[in-house]
Each structure stands twice: as structure tokens, then as C-alpha cells.
A and B are shown apart, each in its own frame.
Chain A
Amino acid sequence: MKTTPPPTPGRRLLRRPSAVVAVAWLVLLTVATACAPLIAAHGPLDQDLSQVLALPSATHPFGTDSLGRDLLSRLLFGGRPALLAVAEALAAHLAVGVSLGLVAGYRGGWADHLITRIGDLLFALPAIIIVLVVLSVFPGNLHAAMITFGVLGSPGMIRVLRSRTLGIRQEMYVAAARVCGLSDTQILLRHVLPRLTGTVIVQAALFSAVAVIIQAGLGFLGLGAQPPAPSWGGLVADASQVIDRDPWMLVPAGVPLVLTVIALTLLGDAIRDTAVENWSVSKLAGTSAPPPVAEEIAGAAGEAAPGALLSVRDLTIEIDGVPVVQGVSFDVMPGETLGVVGESGCGKSVTALGVLGLVPGNGRITRGRVVFAGADLTASPAELAKVRGSGIAYVSQDPMVALDPTFTVLSQLSEAVRRHERATREQARERVLELLAMVGIPDPPGVAGRYPHQLSGGLAQRVLIALALAGRPRLLIADEPTTALDVSVQKEILTLLHTLQRRTGVAVLIVTHDWGVVATLCHRSLVMYAGQVVEQADVESMFVRPLHPYTAGLLAANPHRAVTGQPLTTIPGTVPSPREWPLGCRFSARCPYAADDCRTAPVALTRPVPSRLTRCLHVEELAGEGARP
């Protein structure tokens, strides 16, 4: 928890240089055009035929046009109708867009239907053409034209606001407010509108940018202010008349226009970016040095166990320069199932992906080795590429998003098959059907022809497992493979994994937070806490007699072991984030056995019992107390 409340959105916005520049330009422009009579040394219509098409000089800072009129003055005076026109368009845009978008999103039902329909129709209208028609009806009436343009541009605003409002309306906090008895008006005012302001401002800024161009364009076509009255578009038109004699005039005629549009766009972008970071957790300033890691005992960080299929040594992974996994070592023997257990934020998934050289986001492996069947994957990208899919395969958590939605099951699986073995189209198809049958899919040809969105969660997870098996891997990494599934489907998938392992001898590295899954499937288990391995043992011993207080606490907190009426055993506090890792034992803040020695220095993994590892200085006390079975 941070102690200072986040700064106001406005102040945060002004921390962005681009926003400052944009705001400064817009303010300068508004003030300058508003005070044009005070600033301009010449009147916009004053002709000086001795100074025709002059280049910039002290008297005419931007030069003059073909009648010797001062360009700066014409720009400033032309800015007034320009800004007014943009304001008119924006007002119409906001009035129509915001009200209709809000109503459609919040009311839903027929109102939404109707508004969406109208919005679609308006969206399909070529706005500029309709504006031209309006101008043919009201010649020279820029007000009518710009208001029309504002209305015709509103479908964009309607769409964005509608979907935002719809999203907010479905947020649980709106339901909570309703349960609390708040009226629609109160909900709109307290919960919906404040969250929309950012979006509205962004859209408004972008629309204004377009409106600036359109109003100038109308002036350029001679449809706005009539000469000799100054207008921005008119300036460009004047410049076009003398382009062969005085190309300079293009610069003062166009550059302010371009700058204004850029300023509005930048402002919109900056507001959007600030809105995103608005209420999200802000990163603490500065990067703390990664806490030191203790020397591990030989074997934990030493040589690979003889005969190990996969051997990870001292693996350290950093994301954005912050270590999230530190000094992790373990082995997977051929045909065994190793469970990696822990709560979220402990680095389980990152470790599993790190084995495959796939670290999310800006992460990278900064230390350690991953050796698979004798090949060092961290040293050789070529080896890694060869191993993926054929040596080590991967199954992810949510099967519904783990398959490419635009290809059929057959197409994706045959791609996997043909990637790993030479096969004709027909042979690949045969192999795909075989794989689908292998994962217990009752109608392989039928399922092969389907797209991912036509599969149920259980079926999709089976297809995903089939995909992983396509390269006949010797190790399957499964990242929470059953978490997103219903209990009964979960059981089917666990049984399937178990059966496949018996049949094919594939080793499994399974990441899970569910002790039930560990007990059902795993031979050995690895408990991770705050980026480190804290305990490693065979599953039976770990369940009967955990050797780390975290393991013991996590086992005891499982409601499966609860007795109704008695409070559950809990671990106080929460897992520290990587930036909060202490120097000493990372579990010490939550540990009932913690003493001073735990906090002063990093704790190393020790082997108190043969073939078991723990990262605890007080194993004796814990063991003495005895853990409940």
C-alpha cells in the first residue's frame, strides 16, 4: 500500500512534456487570436502594394500576400472564425454524441437498438458531401456547415461512449450500488460519468483536430468566409494562386494549421495515456537492487541429477529489471510428474515459461541454465527452437483462448504435426485424427472440422493437449491446466493426463495452486514463494510432514481439511511483490516461527532429510510441533 493518494489527473497530465507543449500551443493560439487587434501591427485588410509577396521582415514577420496584406495579421484574424467554427462543431458533436451514447449504453434494450442503428447509418454517410449539400442550401453559412459536421461526426463518439458505458454498467460496483438502493441518476452521476470524462475528452480532442482541417478545407474551397475577409483556408487558397511565384506563402498558410491539429492529437493521446495509468497501481519510483541470494547447498544448485530429463539450475528471470524468479533449481526425471505449487505472484508460471525461453513482456533470463536431455537451452537459441514442441511441449491455463480462433482444429493440429515430422497433407490428417482419439475425443473427424469457438472448455483443453502431443514430446509443461474448468471436467482432464503419462511415458511439469491436483497427479512437488523454491519433496512426505512453514500453512489453509465450526488455519498477510522482497527469509513477515536470524541474511536451501530440501532455519521447531496430516 502506498501512503500518498494519487495526484489529480490534471497534474499528472502536465507531467507529460508532449501534453505541456500541446496545451501551451493551444493556449497561445486562443489568446493570440482573441487579442488579435492588440497584437497585429497591421489590419487584416490593409493593403501595401509596395510590399507584395514579401518574405518575412521586421514589419511583416510572416511576409505578405499578393495584395501586400500582412500574413500574421490575416492569420490571427482568420483564427477567430476558425476557432469559433471548431467550437460550434464540437458543441454539436458533444451534445448529440454524449447524450445518445450514454442513453444507448446505460438504457440498453430498444433505445440502444435504435441509437445504434441510427449511428450506423450516420457513420456510413460521407460527411463532407453532406456538408457540401448543406452549404449549397445555405451558401456561405459556415455555422450550419460546422454544426452539421459535428452531428455527422457523432457516431464515433456514440460508439465509443456506448461501449464504455455498457462496460461500466456491467461492472460489479454498479450492481453493488444498485443493491445499496442508489437511483439511476445517482449511479450515473457517481459511478458512470466520472469514468467517462477521460474518454469524452480524448474523443473531443481528436474530433476537434478533424474539425480544424474541415473548416480550413471549406475556406480553401471558397465556401466559408468570403474574400477579402481573412480565413485560414482562404490563406492556403491564396497561396495556391501564387505557388509558382512565392512558395514561401505555403508555410505561414499551412504550418499553424498543422501545429494546431498536432497539438490536439497529442493532447488526446496524453489524456488517454493518463487515463490508463489513472487508477492503476503506480510503480514505485526507482528500482531497488535485487536482494542477494544465499549460496545453495551442493546439489540444489550444483550438477544435474544423473539421468535427469530436464535440469534447471540457478534460474533467475527479470521483468523490467526486477527479478521475479531468483536462483530456482530443480530436475525432472523421465516419466515423472513434478508439481510446482504456490500462490499467485510467487513466480510459478514465469519459471515454467522460462524453461521454454518464453518470458512474458520485457522479461529475460539473467542467470542460470536450463539443460534438457543434455542440451543447454539457455546457451543455444537453435537448441531451444529444436526442443520446443518436440522435446518439451506446453499446455496453457485457459483453453478457450489457447487456440487460434481463425483456423480449424485440423488446420492447427496438422501444422503442428508437419512441423515435427515429414508428412503429406493426408498423412498429417491421419495423425491428427489419431491424436484426437488419443486424448479421448469421441468424434475426431467431427471435432477436427470445428473452429475453437465451437468447442466446450473441456473439449478445447483436450485439443490443446493433442496439439502439445503432436511433436511426441518427452516433457509436457502444463500451466494450471484445469483451473479454468468445472470440477467434473477438471477430473476428466486430470485422468487424461494421468493416462497419457502411463501410455506414452511423457514427463509432466505441472504448475498449480490446487493441492488436490498435486495429490492426484504428482510424484514430487516444488513449493515456490516470492520467486524462490522454499521446499522440495516427494508428495507423500510433503503432505504428511511439510518442512517449510509456508508449505505447512498452505496445506492447512485448504478448506478440504476444514472442520465445520472451527476456524481455518490461515497464513496472515499476503505474498510480497518482487519490489518488496526483504533481505532475509521472504516468508519471515508471515511466519509464526520467524526469529531475528531469519531476517538478517538470506536463507539457503538445506537438506535436513535425504532427498528433501527446505529453505528454513527453524525446521526443527516446525517438525517438532508436527503437522496435521
Chain B
Amino acid sequence: MGALRLAIRRLLASMPLLFLTSALTFVLVSLVPGDPARTIAGQHSTAEQYRLIRGQLGLDQPLPAQYWHWLTQVFHGDLGSSLFSGEAVTSILQNRLPVSLSLILASTVVSGLAGVALGLLSARRGGVLMKIVDGLAMLGLAAPPFWLALLVIEVFAVTLRWFPVTGYVPLDEDPGGWARSLILPVISIALGAVAIIAKQTRDSVLDTMSKDFIRVMQANGFSPRSILYRHILRNAALPIVTVLGVLMVSLLGAVVFVETVFAMPGVASLTQQATVQHDIPVIQGAVLYITVFVIVVNFVVDLAYVRLDPRVRTS
């Protein structure tokens, strides 16, 4: 069974990505005018104190050596500590990871299910529904997530008072509250995504419907239900899965904004705050985590491909 091996080979092939992003961040960060040591030491420090801190941070070493140092530490599970709070980067990220993951996974599930259902419906019914999907897709793509989030807050939280305005409730504290706290952010993120998935589903379903083998099945009396759900959907699934994978990664962008608007303590908003504060170790840690996330998503997409397409499996 070469399927899993193939997927794992793809996984290994994406490892350079980890080095690429971390090295890229490292080089970029080294360009930062000003210097974290100066920031930490404060304005009234002596030259001696400053040099000491530089030494502690390894900033007196050449860049490749610094990178190597950072890398070896990473392998020991040490991402350094925040220049501001002094807290270990790993623990900061560990605390914030569930928030971002909840958002992304919930948005993906919602947009996947709703998108496929809507796309399928519009492929079969055509006409008005098709136009509605098109219009929604257009709006969903056009409305910036941060603006959409504000709109949703205004309607559902401020005016109707159905949901909390902001904040995040951890799942293990109160599952109900967790779900309630996610609803508005997920709506803001998923609206565009639903539209994209619906459009992709419709296009690939229509494309598959025009294939010869579907006509052969219809002509030879296969049941319409089986043709649609077994054969068309299975064949149309490949491009949908691809789009879903790309979407999960690009949802990160929306998550940055939505976490900020809803004041949710996630990894994405952390990155944004660290950007403002020039908290380099935190940025590097967050980028590393996010890259791992991207690699995992790609791996899952590869696995789905192997599962769905025998041509990938057997060639």
C-alpha cells in the first residue's frame, strides 16, 4: 500500500517550508532597526548592562549562528520568552492556540457543510438559486471580514442582544458558552468561505455532470440518487477538497482581523500585537506554529486526495 507512503513523502517534502519560514523571519527580524536588547535594557541602562543583555540574547553572534542557536533551542521545545511579559513563548502560544484552532476548524466545518449543500442545490435547481449563490459569493468575497464582523456585532449583539459582543469562553469551562462565543466570529469568517465553497461545488458538480461516464450511467439505468451522491459528488470532491485546503490557510488572514474585533486571545491576534510591540521571539514562535498548522492542513488534503482519487493511489 503505497498510499500512506506517498502522503508521508509529501509531508517530508514540505519540511523545508518550516526552515524557509523560520529563516525568512529570522533574516527579516535581523533587519529591524533598533534592537530588542535596547528595548529590554530600557533607556537609562549603562553600556555594560546593554552588552550583557545582548550577550544573553545571543545578539552578539553572527546571524547564522543565532539562527542555529534558535533552531537547537526549538528542538528542545524552547522558543524563548516574550520581550515584554517575560513569559515563555511556548506557554503563551499553548494558551492561545485553542482559540484560533476553534475559530478555524469551526469556520471550515461550517463553510464546508453549508457550501457543499448550497452548491449542490444550486447545481441541481439552477436558475434563481444559482444567481443567489453567485450574488452571495460576490458579497462574501467583497465584504472585508473586519467590517463584516462589526456589522454582525451591531445587528446581533448590540441591537438584538442575542450573543455576547466580544470575548472567548474556553471549551472545557463551559461548552455552551464556548459555542455561543464562537457563533458571531464564525459567521464573520465563514460567510465568504461558504460562498467560495458553494461556487466551487456547483462548478465541479456541473462539470462532472457533463462527463461521458455520467451519461453512460444514466443511459444504463443507474439510480439518479446513486449517480448524484455516489458518483458525481465523489468526482466533484477533488477540486472541492483542494479549495477547502487553500481556504483553511487563507482563513488565517480573516482570523487575524476577527480575533482583533472580537477581542479573542488567539494566536493570530497575538501575532498582530507582537508586530506592534516588536516582540520578536513571540513573532517567531507564532510563525513557527502557523507554519506547522499549514503543513498539517496540506498533509490532510494530500491524505484526502489519496483516499478519493485512485489515480493518485495507484500510479
Contact = CB atoms under 8 A, between A and B. Distances in A.
Q: Do A and B contact each other directly (Cβ–Cβ < 8 Å)? A: yes
Interface of A: 121, 124-130, 132-137, 139, 209, 213-214, 216-217, 220-223, 233, 236, 239-240, 243-244, 247, 250, 253-254, 257-259, 261-262, 265-266, 353, 356, 358, 385, 387-390, 392-398, 401-408, 415-416, 419-420, 451, 453-454, 464, 467-468, 470-471, 477
B179 to A, nearest CB: 24
Interface string B260-299: 1100000010011011101010010011001100110010
21 contacts: A128-B253, A132-B256, A133-B29, A136-B32, A209-B142, A213-B144, A216-B146, A217-B144, A217-B257, A220-B144, A220-B146, A222-B276, A223-B275, A239-B150, A243-B158, A247-B158, A353-B215, A353-B219, A395-B216, A404-B217, A468-B220
Given A132-B256, A404-B213, A454 B222 contact: no
Contact of A453 (B28, B261, B310): B310
A134 B294 CA distance: 19
Given A239-B150, A262-B142, A451-B311, A136 B275 contact: yes
Contact of B261 (A128, A240, A407, A470): A240
B230 to A, nearest CB: 8
A395 B219 CA distance: 9
Contact of A388 (B221, B276, B298, B311): B221
A330 B287 CA distance: 72
A254 B213 contact: no
Contacts of A134: 28
Contact of B271 (A125, A129, A356, A389): A129
Interface stretch (B15-23, B73-81, B108-116, B180-188): B15-23
B144 A454 contact: no
B197 interface: no
B156 to A, nearest CB: 12
B146 A406 contact: no
B25, B213, B283, B308 pick with most chain A CB within 10 angstroms: B213
Contact of B17 (A121, A222, A420): A121
Given A133-B28, A134-B28, A467 B216 contact: yes
A129 B252 contact: yes
Nearest to B135: A262
Interface in B214-246: 215-223, 226, 230-231, 234-235
Nearest to A127: B253
Interface of A is mostly: helix
Contacts of B141: 209, 261, 265
Q: Name the interface size band of chain B.
A: 35 or more
Contact of A419 (B221, B310, B311): B221
Nearest to B313: A451
B287 A129 contact: yes
A214 B294 CA distance: 20
B39 to A, nearest CB: 13
A468 to B, nearest CB: 6
A128 B294 CA distance: 13
A133 B146 CA distance: 20
A50 B14 CA distance: 59
B216 A265 contact: no
B220 A132 contact: no
A89 to B, nearest CB: 14
B4 interface: no
Interface in B101-140: 138-139
B29 to A, nearest CB: 6
B40 interface: no
Interface in B1-57: 14, 16-17, 20-21, 24-25, 28-29, 31-32
Given A133-B29, A265-B141, A404-B235, A236 B154 contact: no
A139 B158 CA distance: 34
B304 interface: no
B275 A133 contact: yes
A221 B272 contact: yes
B147 interface: yes
B309 interface: yes
Contacts of A209: 141-142
A254 B143 contact: yes
A247 B144 contact: no
8 closest A-B pairs by CB: A389-B221, A394-B219, A128-B253, A261-B142, A388-B221, A254-B147, A136-B275, A389-B220
A416 B256 contact: no
B144 A396 contact: no
A415 B290 contact: no
Nearest to A249: B150
B153 interface: yes
Interface string B139-171: 101111111001101100010000000000000
A395 B311 CA distance: 24
Contact of B216 (A136, A214, A217, A396): A396
Given A250-B154, A405-B311, A388 B218 contact: yes
B85 interface: no
Contacts of B16: 121
Contact of A401 (B212, B278, B287): B212
Contacts of A133: 25, 28-29, 275, 283, 287
